[in-house]
Chains A and B, each alone.
Chain A
């Protein structure tokens, strides 16, 4: 019989994630003795310097929390502030927001699937290494990504930190012809992703399942992305304003990002798997059909299969984008005017990585008095550790470098955005 193993797995700088994190695992006699996902990315104190800024600056400032999902920040900020001011954006302006957000989902998911996650399944250090043997898939992945980026650039002005979003809508809107130009590229991306999904379904997925509490927004009329209520697979259903009552954040000594749990229960998962499992009936018929045909039947409890679920969401996003473009007629005016109402506004949207929550307290003069932001990666942090705690004991027969790689892959299942996760640490500054 093999002796129970004792070893330390240490990854000082996690690769193929956004931001800076490390992993530390100590196994003694076959038991996980210590496990820490250490987020050492320095805090940037966004919530502190949002104080005293005017409400209409929040979308541009919070976008800078993350270069990968700036639209998520802009949308959650608009959401929170507009709900306080009693504005609900409808019609073509709302469609444009959806289009911009679908562009981000396509871009961010394709980046993660093809360039960051897929190399793990094929045993490559990076997509550039992978491109030597599989140039066609890297090329197709890049083309899908480009279709998302092009849509973002058209509506938002640029892909990273779009400049065209404002409270109430946009500074200016595209013409119908502008948007029709994207149809071909989006249709091609849609075809590529279906092809890729059929191929990727045949990859080897580690046998690992967990009984997660999945948490995602729920919207009665669509696969929630822009707004909705908070729902979980263990029975939660609350409006966004109840977020802080349901979830509890706390600090751990080894991470610059707060951990989050469901009060009284424990860790939970946000992101593609949670959305897919909770809102499956609202995916487009083709997305549902492709999902079922490659063996994705909700609930999917294997986090490694998030690779495929992201692909299904890309497919959904391409199809929905094509539908919205088809019905688009420019609005009479690019934005709805707003009137400042003092009070507290709550907003959330589905960033590519999961629920992104914003809360703002705004004064009668329009200045922000207090801001709180809870990004998806910080919510998933505890869940990532829980996955690793379960996974590591099963890997102990492997050589150490394989254990390390598999742990990294398990973290990448969550597409962690560490830059996001770190920026909500609060620093209070007296401004006199």
Chain B
């Protein structure tokens, strides 16, 4: 029987650090085998050879932050059967979405030597703000395991098995002592999506939420608990506003406590 045509993979970069696409090259033991199953048709970080679309699967890294990128993501969507965002930037706007909270007036005060040379949008947004996205891989950066699971599921025509419960569950499964209970260390584990293997608690630090909010989180409950134990509101705002600051649940929590901090200051 004739072998089926290898599916075509494309890897795209928007505003990002390159770390999530590097994860593909970090699959040192699997990379060559993977290249045997899938045609790596467009992956500029690795190859100058370019195979034209359409593509069966596109991995999209980075947030959309310039007018050209808006056009580009739309074009990629048109050429792609299965579009997956990889990482916090493509999924939630990334660390650079911190600019989204700045007062728009502030943008008049650009202090480049020659600001007219720079093109940028006011907000750094996820791909899903502009096009439909078929699947999201979380993390800052994504993990090798989930990436391989995604590709293997895609090749086998099944749904990827990626957890959407909290880091807390992973932590308990690994038998790690709770850093909040034992050390009093603030931890976003109760509201953050699993996938990292409870890495930070395993190293005795609090989770800082790099996989973004879990499904139906309760950040208010966690926030109030932390406030009741002496955390200052500005610190709480910063806790929610890092690599997934513009993910809806963290964005709302950050805004709520930012208002509270303003009330504190004015009273």
Which A residues are within 8 Å of any B CB, using their own CB? 13-20, 41-46, 48-49, 53-54, 57, 60-61, 64-68, 70, 111, 115-116, 125-129, 131, 135, 138-139, 142-143, 145-146, 149, 157-161, 163-164, 166, 170-172, 250-251, 253-254, 256, 408, 417, 419, 425-432
Contact = CB atoms under 8 A, between A and B. Distances in A.
Return the 10 tightest CB-CB contacts between A and B, nearest first: A67-B19, A126-B47, A15-B48, A125-B49, A429-B106, A44-B96, A49-B98, A146-B28, A429-B102, A142-B28
A149 to B, nearest CB: 6
Contacts of A125: 47-49
Contacts of A254: 117
Given A16-B44, A431-B103, 7 more contacts: A13-B44, A14-B44, A15-B45, A68-B19, A111-B25, A142-B29, A160-B23
Interface stretch (B9-17, B220-228, B248-256): B9-17
B21 to A, nearest CB: 8
B199 A157 contact: yes
B69 interface: yes
Interface residues of B, number: 66
A149 B26 contact: yes
B111 interface: yes
A27 to B, nearest CB: 21
B49 to A, nearest CB: 4
B200 A42 contact: no
A158 B199 contact: yes
Given A44-B15, A163-B199, A171 B204 contact: yes
B124 to A, nearest CB: 8
B95 A61 contact: yes
Contacts of A46: 95
B46 A16 contact: yes
Given A42-B15, A42-B66, A48-B99, A427 B49 contact: no
Contacts of A146: 28-29
A152 B28 CA distance: 15
B187 to A, nearest CB: 12
Contact of A139 (B18, B25, B32, B196): B32
A311 B228 CA distance: 54
Given A15-B47, A61-B95, A256 B203 contact: no
Interface in B108-154: 109-114, 117-120, 124, 140-141, 143
A297 to B, nearest CB: 32
B203 A16 contact: no
A178 to B, nearest CB: 12
Main secondary structure of the interface of B (DSSP, over half): loop
Interface in B1-57: 13-23, 25-26, 28-29, 31-32, 35, 40, 43-49
Contacts of A70: 17, 19
B45 A18 contact: yes
A143 B202 CA distance: 27
Interface centre among A128, A166, A171, A250 (most CB of B within 10 A): A128
Nearest to B239: A57
A256 B118 contact: yes
B246 interface: no
B113 to A, nearest CB: 5
Interface in B47-105: 47-49, 65-66, 69, 94-96, 98-99, 102-103, 105
Contacts of A131: 32, 35
29 contacts: A14-B44, A15-B48, A20-B13, A41-B15, A42-B119, A44-B96, A45-B99, A53-B238, A57-B238, A64-B94, A66-B19, A67-B18, A111-B25, A127-B47, A128-B32, A128-B46, A129-B49, A135-B32, A149-B26, A160-B141, A161-B141, A163-B199, A163-B205, A164-B203, A164-B205, A171-B205, A251-B113, A426-B112, A427-B107
B208 interface: yes
Contact of B204 (A15, A149, A172): A172
Contacts of A61: 95, 242
Contacts of A57: 238, 242
B178 interface: no
Contact of A430 (B13, B95, B103): B103
